[in-house]
Chains A and B, each alone.
Chain A
Amino acid sequence: TQLLEQSPQFLSIQEGENLTVYCNSSSVFSSLQWYRQEPGEGPVLLVTVVTGGEVKKLKRLTFQFGDARKDSSLHITAAQPGDTGLYLCAGVGSSNTGKLIFGQGTTLQVKP
């Protein structure tokens, strides 16, 4: 069974600080996706990383896929209150149906 462990589960920081969220597995994933979910809404895709070692940037967000494609990280530089939300990592399962396996999520609070 493929599992994703996401950490930390909760993070409360001050505006301007940097943070990193980790997503780890003992399994290899063909790709990994990061989502953001607002209360009362569905997850919204931020980025997909496909190649081992790949780094993608989305403004102040940097996403990295591990060389072995078993782990990923999300780094936010100079966090802002607007970054507050739930961040989810999700690996594409090995079954070729497009099924996603989600981590537990990281609830981020950025205080002004």
Chain B
Amino acid sequence: KQEVTQIPAALSVPEGENLVLNCSFTDSAIYNLQWFRQDPGKGLTSLLLIQSSQREQTSGRLNASLDKSSGRSTLYIAASQPGDSATYLCAPNTGNQFYFGTGTSLTVIP
């Protein structure tokens, strides 16, 4: 079974900092990997989808990278803002299902 770990579990940074969230997974036979954001008590908002053949995917201030062979993905957030405060989840897709990581809880302090 796919095991997904996210480091750090929690992160608190001042506004304006660039930051990196890490995701590692045990089974490299994935189709793609999706990064989500979740606000407290809410559903999941898709941020980026990176296919197994891609190395990077960018959307605005967000950049996700994927190293499938080593089972790692990173989410880079540039110039963080208080509105970025949320839990960030990575989810590698093995085909039939997505396996969710434990999440990184991000707080951006104004």
B and A form one assembly: no
